[in-house]
Chain A
């Protein structure tokens, strides 16, 4: 009898631990993004080189999971990740900027090379870069190309890996400013890893009027267009209307001299 009670106790304890584990794993927040909206403001096209496979820049989900003092960030894509340039982390062509709004104020300008701004009340406070480049290279680029005031708000994970369809990294919660990540606002920009970026660009790939072998198409040959293929939009639920919401956010207008008359303005997405 006592043995049976003991067994039951062990089973209940195990179940409790499992539930607790599950509860811990569920701490965080998840967003979905519609498939097939990897076209920026609606008409962007992929580069023509074969390494840019269909769906490579089509974000379908973004997950934030809190495990104690660590935060796991994962961005999922429609296409399986590949590492054709042998970057070593399981992916090559993608690069992701994750913007976090977790306190009043913040920065309105996106990182150099993205050509986006953030709407009033939607400024970012922290930015996490998921890049296949070595963290040291990303850090150097940030130091060289981002305004000094923004640099301290950039978080570069020690390890970023691609596996299956998901690029993921873990950062310290303290690095993000502490608090409850499930209450924060987020924006995620899908860009492409460019090892030889143009002068001021932060490892980002250009969008031109016409796609080239290693350039996106559908934009302009100047920098008035957002160099962004996919973002979170709407409520981050993956519904069809979020495609239009994305296109609306990424609308832009250029001056005749190629400067931005109306840049793309992004909003945070919050659960």
Chain B
């Protein structure tokens, strides 16, 4: 038995101590019930109605840009004794509860379907699926004890969003709701309150908190323990020691002696040690430092993957034995010259193998940099999931999300069940570099600038381990690093990447009428990635494809022990189209075939006005101009994605309005996206033309030019025009 006992015993002891605390029912104990009616209307010209959320990648859940839905959220709170309080919520969810479901009656019953009728989408299962029958769940039920001991301030038992820890270890969590995590938390202090502590045991979410987004078959004992020791001896200095220990246990199938019970073994284990500190010499200067070291290990004997399919693995954690640090240092100079000019400086270094399985997945921002913009979501120009194959329609759509991304220190990034106006998170695993961020406030004008230089700990060849086959990586690749953006990809087989971010943004209160908010931003990103940079890794011997209509010889070039990137970048067949004979795609015979060079410009201008105390509205225009070289047809965006090499021009017009009426709040966000993509996939291949099937499957005209890649996917060579309208209106009434 190798489960962790020490802290469990400690927590049990604390719970036992609580039992001894005399509690007295408070006079006039009341049960407070408040609530919220949250109603949402979605409209968009993609005309999908799989659920009342714009985006999810979770199979079978459904997503949509059209529909209406209503949630009720009842907050319950009571204080049965002076040192005991209980709170909880009863809440329904949007899910597939469209108004058109008429209360969730009828519908097809998937349990009786033979053959199975597939996923319930858009509420078509009515009362037979909890996502469409307006069910109400218990949420956020928490008991809090404040026993009055010197060494123990409070014990919290039940639901929590884990917001009291930190984003690098046990981060604030949300999966649709904010408090699905269940935990026992003890908080208090020692040595005359000089040393504070938070000690927690969280039950590991079986939904995602383990290799392959799973915690295996035996889950009841899976846990994450966390400890924070907070030491602040003087106002000039404070520090926090952090420790985290996650264990995903399985029944040990090698223990065949059942007479003495069963042994358990680690399917996945994860330990993180950290230190945060601050030095505060005065109001003008502030120093903060953060260091974490993580160790993680997956055991394939108990169901964890040993490796991932090289260019499309999905997991919140790499495979195998991992260890790496993550650290950053911040200096804040607050108006050192007395003219309203302040500086924030940050150095950051997030290890490629840094893992905390419960690190914040969204709605946190671990770095100072603005990072990438949320409108570029997936590799393809139209934000398709896997756009070179039919049957993978666009989800969030061409417009992506609004604003810039938030940065999180995990590849388990979660943007599920969001709408287009919500913040998007991107991973920073592997990032290292610095940010300089001056801010200048003078009167009604405030200006902020940024320069960030980002290098990568994931700059490597052959996944950083040339002793393995190229498709045998420990790293999950998610949607890959192709295209302009990819929010949860941290790893690529070949990377030699550098990113520079420059921006300046400002706000000005124009003294007209009641004051007009004027705001704007200019942003520039210069990014290069040479990807494969050593001829040793070229897939075939030099001159393997002689051209002139001659077939390639397929003389594989091996980089180690018979391994070759020919497994990834196979040679093209010779084809003849309209009398032209040549290769179906360009042979991968040059180190420049996969090079990325991105020249990214963004411009924003907007204005807002508070018409009355109850009504505010703003109008924003954004223009994106991206000149991207992202490999050619030899690279093919790893075969799975729409190629994005070429010129992109995207525009966003956003109208926002907010109206309060008594206890009700109404909001409206309308967005019109339009733009063009002018592909440039290079030469060296024979252009094909779409037949009727291709035209049908990929939405291109019959006879339009393109090329068919290694896996049969189609990349169109047509200039493309995009238009996406969408709107979200909501009403919230607190009662």
Contact = CB atoms under 8 A, between A and B. Distances in A.
Nearest to A218: B193
B336 interface: no
Contacts of A166: 441
Contacts of A140: 660, 662-663
B580 interface: no
A136 B613 contact: yes
Contacts of B446: 163-164
B186 to A, nearest CB: 12
Contacts of B235: 36
A49 B164 contact: yes
B344 interface: yes
Contact of B665 (A36, A134, A198, A221): A134
14 contacts: A36-B235, A49-B164, A49-B172, A50-B163, A50-B166, A80-B332, A88-B616, A135-B613, A135-B614, A136-B613, A158-B515, A158-B613, A164-B441, A165-B342
Interface string B576-589: 00000000000000
Interface string B230-244: 000001001000000
Interface in B652-692: 658-663, 665
A213 interface: yes
Interface residues of A, number: 39
Contacts of B167: 50
Nearest to B236: A36
Contacts of A165: 334-335, 342
A166 B342 CA distance: 12
A156 B79 CA distance: 34
B160 A159 contact: no
Q: Which of A170, A210, A221 has the most CB of B within 10 A?
A: A210
**Which 5 pairs, one residue from A and one from B, show the smallest C-beta to C-beta distance?**
A136-B660, A136-B614, A135-B613, A210-B153, A163-B446
A159 B613 contact: no
A86 B667 CA distance: 13
Contact of A49 (B163, B439, B507, B659): B163
B734 interface: yes
Contacts of A136: 612-615, 659-661
Interface string B128-158: 0000000000000000101000000110000
Contacts of A212: 144, 154
Nearest to A139: B613
Contacts of B441: 163-164, 166
A245 interface: no
A170 B515 contact: yes
B340 A159 contact: no
Nearest to A140: B662
Nearest to A70: B511
Interface of A: 35-36, 48-51, 54, 60, 78, 80, 86, 88, 90, 134-137, 139-140, 156, 158-159, 161, 163-166, 170, 196, 198-199, 208-213, 217, 221
A210 B163 contact: no
Nearest to A67: B511
Contacts of A208: 146
A165 B341 CA distance: 11
Contacts of B660: 134, 136-137, 140
A48 B332 CA distance: 23
Given A134-B613, A139-B614, 10 more contacts: A50-B166, A51-B163, A54-B278, A137-B660, A137-B665, A159-B610, A161-B517, A165-B334, A170-B509, A209-B146
Nearest to A58: B283
Nearest to B363: A84
B75 interface: yes
B553 interface: no
Contacts of A80: 332, 334, 342, 344, 439
B160 A213 contact: yes
A134 B658 contact: yes
B187 interface: yes
Contact of B509 (A49, A159, A198, A210): A159
A137 B485 CA distance: 38
Given A134-B658, A136-B661, A217-B153, A210 B187 contact: yes
B696 interface: no
A210 B154 contact: yes
A66 to B, nearest CB: 14
B734 A134 contact: no
B198 interface: yes
Contacts of A88: 616, 658
A49 B612 CA distance: 34
Contacts of B198: 48
Contact of A161 (B82, B364, B509): B509
Given A50-B167, A54-B238, A210-B153, A164 B278 contact: no
Interface in B335-350: 335, 340, 342, 344
A210 B146 contact: yes
Nearest to B446: A163
Contacts of A196: 34, 75, 734
B301 interface: no
Nearest to A222: B82
A95 to B, nearest CB: 17
Nearest to B148: A209
Nearest to B171: A50
A164 B446 CA distance: 8
B32 interface: yes
Nearest to A156: B613
A166 B340 CA distance: 10
Question: Which of A80, A163, A170, A211 is the most central at the interface, judged by chain B CB atoms within 10 Å of its CB?
Answer: A163
Contacts of A134: 613-614, 616, 658, 660, 665
Nearest to A37: B235
A135 B611 CA distance: 11
A217 B344 CA distance: 30
B514 interface: yes
Interface in B591-642: 610, 612-616
Contacts of B658: 88, 134
A78 B509 contact: no
